[in-house]
């Protein structure tokens, strides 16, 4: 039966619905199977041969996803930055649409679904990898892998990290799309085969050996969510009260543990925006809490170097010695913690001036060394601050450097009661699986959580509450395949994606244009 490419209006409708369904797979709905359906609809929408049109389809899909996914940006810094960021991120999906039109023009890829499935997935992951580094250091929020913390597919992070999980999500989406095209041809057998193959990929996640046992003992940890007096961008104008909230939360731990029972107490990012190393009252308050608990305190604070700027840091305070180690955030968030092209940006939004002092990047790996008297050794704490959990290399470097647990210190106060905090929690859960490390996400206002090395949340706080958590974290030194080889896997995927475009363009010279009218539909006839 001859295949007619979808109408242009139909492709745009499929793109919009697909983008909305992909977003529904993320927190807060967390209906992760809908992510596959959304990708399938995008694949079907990209059925025309025009690279320009497919770029438009990809842009529409990207906007339908990113605008609702990033609504918390609008609530914190305004509409123009929200729309601008969404457009920039959607442009990467537009690039996937155009690249797919070029890649599939080669006769080999065009004629068989078994080639189209991996090629489309490789293009998507290459775009996600590009979003990690460009522009302004990248913004990888909304990677498909981050929708799969509750899915068996999420367990594949142990084998190949977030890039492998995203790749498999797209593979399943394309298999579903080809199954739908087979049904259109009334080929129930082919449709069933593709669905069963997809189900087998999902089920294979349960076969991966996620080990959660302690290898180097346990770390007894308390985590303090102190809450803030107000929400929004002005929450931390009352810095002293925020500090007092976290001090009070630390003393509240004594209702659950005796002094000396904890190896470490963790505060969130911005738990004290007053640097306790230079403010005597703040230093006395932090040191007093550490001494009362007889446990070191990891404090999220800011430092202001004499050369200018500021650093977002985690300071480790020993009950007797005071500050003994620290980690400075390596990847400040553009337009939130520092403002590129400030004069130009001010023309679009005066909210940029709320960031009065630009944050500087730290230059050391996120490893804090804790001298544990109970364990009789130095324990490596893998530490990332806030959005850093979204970046593969920063988390991987912390574990490779000796991190035996992961700590994600974050401040979600400026995002209100949006899905931002739960989106971030999904990332922390995936990182726990990826590196086989028990993980604590601790926020000023929530959501905070304790996560097992297999990604299971065992404790979780509410939003805008003052709460504490106590947990015994298994310490692990074994490196997962993703920790060992994740960077190599990512580079292979980054290279293969563009190569498929080059191969497609070269192959198109040998393929008559009249033969390039029915991509996936024709491919269903050639599956073996």
Q: What are the helix (H) ranges across 25-156?
A: 33-45, 51-69, 71-77, 79-103, 107-111, 113-131
**DSSP β-bridge partners for residue 325:** 316
SS3 182: helix
Residue 345 belongs to what H/E stretch? helix 342-346
Q: How confident is the model at residue 108 (pLDDT cuts 50, 70, 90)?
A: low
At residue 241, does pLDDT exceed 80? yes
Is 496 found in the same domain as 466?
no
Residue 523 has pLDDT above 50, yes or no: no
Q: For residues 499 and 502, what is the distance between their CA atoms, to the nearest angstrom?
A: 5
528 within some domain: no
Residue 182's pLDDT band (boundaries 50, 70, 90)? confident
Supply the pLDDT for residue 506: 77
Residues 448, 467 contacting (CB under 8 angstroms):
yes
In three-state form (DSSP H/G/I as H, E/B as E, the rest C), the secondary structure along 267-321 is: CCCCCCCCCCCCCHHHHHHHHHHHHHHCCCEEEEEEECCCCCCEEEEEEEEECCC
Mean pLDDT of all residues belonging to the chain: 90
Number of structural domains (the chain) is 2
The active-site residue out of 269, 420, 434, 521 is: 269
Domain containing residue 247: 218-477
CATH of the domain at 346: 3.60.110.10
**Residue 526 pLDDT:** 42
Taking alpha carbons only, the member of 63, 9, 5, 61 closest to residue 37 is 61
Domain stop point among 459, 477, 495: 477
23 vs 83: CA distance, rounded Å: 16
Catalytic hit among 329, 388, 404, 420: 329
pLDDT confidence of residue 518: 46
pLDDT exceeds cutoff 90 at 224: yes
497 lies in the same domain as 455:
no
Q: Are residues 183 and 272 in the same domain?
A: no
CA distances from 392 to 140, 161, 456, 482, 489 (A): 9, 8, 20, 10, 12
64-72: average pLDDT: 96
The whole-number pLDDT of residue 151 equals: 97
244 given a catalytic annotation: no
Residue 163: φ, ψ to 5°: -60, -40
Task: Using the predicted structure, report yes or no on whether residue 1 has a pLDDT greater than 60.
Answer: no
Has residue 3 been placed in a domain? no
| Banded model confidence at residue 514, pLDDT cuts 50, 70, 90 | low
Which residue is associated with the tokens 């489309």? 120
- Assign 457 a pLDDT band (cuts: 50, 70, 90): very high
Q: Give me the phi and psi of 100, to 5 degrees please.
A: -65, -40
Residue-wise pLDDT for 264-323, tens only, equals 999 999 999 899 999 999 999 999 999 999 999 999 999 999 888 999 999 999 999 999
**Cβ neighbours for 344, distance < 8 A, ≥ 6 positions apart:** none
Q: Best-predicted range by mean pLDDT among 7-11, 332-336, 380-384?
A: 380-384
Q: Report which of residues 311 and 233 the model is more confident about.
A: 311
pLDDT-based confidence at residue 337 (cuts at 50, 70, 90): confident
Scanning the structure block, which residue is given the tokens 């004499």?
A: 306
* Among the ranges given (115-129, 329-343, 425-439), the one the predictor scored with the smallest mean pLDDT: 329-343
**So what's the pLDDT on residue 223?**
98
What is the share, in percent, of the chain residues with pLDDT greater than 70?
89
Q: How does pLDDT run across 281-298, given as a tens digit for each residue?
A: 999 999 999 999 999 999
Which pLDDT score, from 0 to 100, does residue 348 have?
66
At residue 460, the 3 state secondary structure works out as: strand
Same domain, 435 and 509: no
User: Does residue 227 sit in the same domain as residue 162?
Assistant: no
The CA-atom distances, in angstroms, between 272 and each of 100, 313, 376 are 48, 10, 30
Distance from first CA to last CA of the chain, Å, rounded?
20
Q: Is the model's pLDDT at 522 over the cut of 80?
A: no
Residues 515, 473 share a domain: no
- What pLDDT score does 26 carry? 97
Q: Is the pLDDT of residue 490 over 50?
A: yes
**Would you say residue 2 lies in a domain?**
no
Asked if pLDDT for residue 246 goes beyond 60, the answer is: yes
Residue 118 lies in a domain: yes
In the set 337, 386, 388, 420, the catalytic residue is 386
pLDDT at 449 exceeding the cut of 90: yes
Q: What is the mean pLDDT of residues 150-174?
A: 97
Distance from C-alpha of 527 to C-alpha of 113, rounded to nearest angstrom: 6
Residue 155, in any domain of the structure? yes
Q: Identify the band that residue 338 occupies on the pLDDT scale cut at 50, 70 and 90.
A: confident
Task: Give the Cα separation of 245 and 2 in Å (integer).
Answer: 69
For residue 193, being part of any structural domain is answered with yes
Instruction: Examine the domain organization and report whether 118 and 256 are in the same domain.
Output: no
Higher pLDDT pick, 115 / 169: 169
Q: Of 463, 451, 506, which Cα lies nearest the Cα of 149? A: 451
Model confidence band, residue 30 (pLDDT cutoffs 50, 70, 90): very high
pLDDT above 60 (res 65): yes
> Are 471 and 487 members of one domain?
no
pLDDT of residue 109: 72
Report the chain's C-alpha Rg in angstroms. Answer: 24
Q: What is the largest CA-CA distance in the chain?
A: 81
- Residues 408 and 433 placed together within one structural domain of the fold: yes
**385 SS3 class:** strand
Rounded to an integer, the average pLDDT of 164-182 is 95
**258 and 402, same structural domain?**
yes
Q: What pLDDT is stored for residue 48 in this prediction? A: 87
Measured in whole angstroms, the distance separating CA 463 from the mean position of its chain's CA atoms is 20
Residue 28 has pLDDT above 60, yes or no: yes
Token look-up 């199954």 returns 179
Compute CA 84 distance to the chain's CA centroid, rounded to the nearest angstrom: 20
Is residue 333 domain-shared with residue 389, that is, in the same domain?
yes
Asked which of 31-40, 210-219, 347-356, 410-419 is least confident by mean pLDDT, the reply is 347-356
Evaluate whether residue 71 is within a structural domain.
yes
Residue 93 has pLDDT above 50, yes or no: yes
Residue 318 lies in a domain: yes
Identify whether 269 is a catalytic site residue: yes
d(CA 380, CA 402): 5
Give the pLDDT band of residue 347 (cuts 50, 70, 90): low
For the record, the structure tokens of 280 come out as 């005597």
The pLDDT of residue 91 is above 60 = yes
Query: Between helices 280-293 and 239-252, what is the axis angle to 10°?
Result: 10
Active site residue 241: no
Whether 251 has a pLDDT exceeding 90, the answer reads yes
Q: Which pLDDT score is estimated for 354?
A: 67
Summarize the confidence of residues 156-172 as an average pLDDT: 97
CA distances (Å), origin 59, targets 94, 129, 449, 506: 4, 18, 35, 26
User: Contact, 445 vs 463, CB < 8 A?
Assistant: yes
pLDDT at 231 over 50: no
Pair type for strands 377-385 and 405-410 = parallel
Does one domain contain both 420 and 468?
yes
């Amino acid at each position: 039966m001859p295949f007619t490419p979808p109408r242009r209006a139909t492709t745009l409708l499929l793109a919009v619905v697909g983008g909305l369904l992909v977003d529904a797979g993320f927190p807060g709905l967390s209906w992760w199977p809908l992510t596959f359906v959304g990708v399938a609809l995008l694949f079907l929408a990209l059925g025309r041969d025009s690279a320009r049109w497919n770029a438009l389809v990809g842009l529409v899909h990207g906007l339908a996803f990113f605008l609702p996914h990033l609504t918390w940006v609008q609530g914190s810094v305004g509409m123009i930055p929200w729309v601008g960021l969404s457009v920039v991120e959607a442009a990467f999906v537009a690039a996937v649409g155009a690249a797919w039109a070029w890649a599939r023009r080669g006769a080999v890829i065009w004629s068989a679904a078994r080639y189209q499935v991996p090629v489309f997935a490789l293009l998507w992951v290459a775009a996600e990898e590009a979003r990690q580094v460009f522009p302004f250091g990248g913004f990888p929020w909304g990677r498909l892998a981050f929708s799969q913390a509750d899915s068996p597919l999420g367990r594949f992070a142990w084998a190949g990290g977030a890039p492998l999980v995203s790749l498999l999500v797209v593979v399943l989406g394309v298999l579903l799309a080809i199954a739908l095209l087979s049904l259109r041809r009334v080929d129930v057998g082919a449709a069933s085969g593709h669905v069963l193959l997809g189900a087998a990929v999902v089920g294979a996640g349960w076969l991966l050996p996620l080990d959660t046992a302690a290898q180097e003992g346990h770390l007894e940890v308390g985590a303090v969510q102190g809450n803030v007096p107000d929400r929004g961008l002005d929450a931390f104008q009352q810095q002293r009260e925020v500090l007092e909230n976290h001090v009070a939360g630390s003393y509240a731990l004594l209702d659950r543990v005796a002094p000396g029972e904890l190896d470490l107490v963790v505060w969130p990012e911005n738990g004290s925006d007053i640097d306790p190393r230079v403010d005597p009252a703040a230093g006395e308050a932090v040191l007093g809490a550490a001494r009362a608990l007889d446990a070191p305190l990891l404090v999220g604070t800011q430092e202001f170097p004499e050369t200018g700027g500021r650093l977002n840091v985690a300071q480790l305070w020993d009950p007797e010695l005071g500050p003994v180690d620290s980690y400075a955030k390596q990847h400040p968030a553009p337009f939130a913690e520092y403002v590129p092209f400030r004069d130009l940006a001010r023309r679009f939004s005066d909210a940029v001036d709320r960031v009065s002092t630009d944050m500087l990047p730290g230059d050391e790996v996120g490893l804090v060394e804790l001298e544990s008297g109970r364990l009789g050794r130095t324990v490596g704490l893998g530490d990332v601050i806030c959005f850093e959990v979204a970046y593969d290399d920063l988390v991987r470097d912390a574990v490779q450097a000796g991190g035996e647990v992961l700590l994600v210190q974050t401040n979600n106060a400026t995002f209100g009661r949006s899905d931002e905090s739960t989106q971030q929690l999904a990332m922390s859960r995936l990182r726990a699986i990826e590196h086989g490390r028990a993980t604590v996400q601790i926020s000023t206002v929530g959501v905070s959580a304790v996560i097992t090395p297999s990604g299971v949340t065992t404790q979780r706080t509410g939003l805008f509450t003052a709460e504490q958590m106590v947990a015994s974290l298994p310490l692990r030194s074994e490196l997962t395949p993703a920790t060992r080889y994740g960077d190599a896997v990512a580079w292979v995927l980054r290279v293969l994606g563009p190569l498929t475009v080059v191969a497609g363009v070269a192959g198109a010279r040998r393929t008559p244009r009249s033969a390039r009218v029915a991509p996936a539909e024709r491919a269903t006839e050639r599956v073996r």
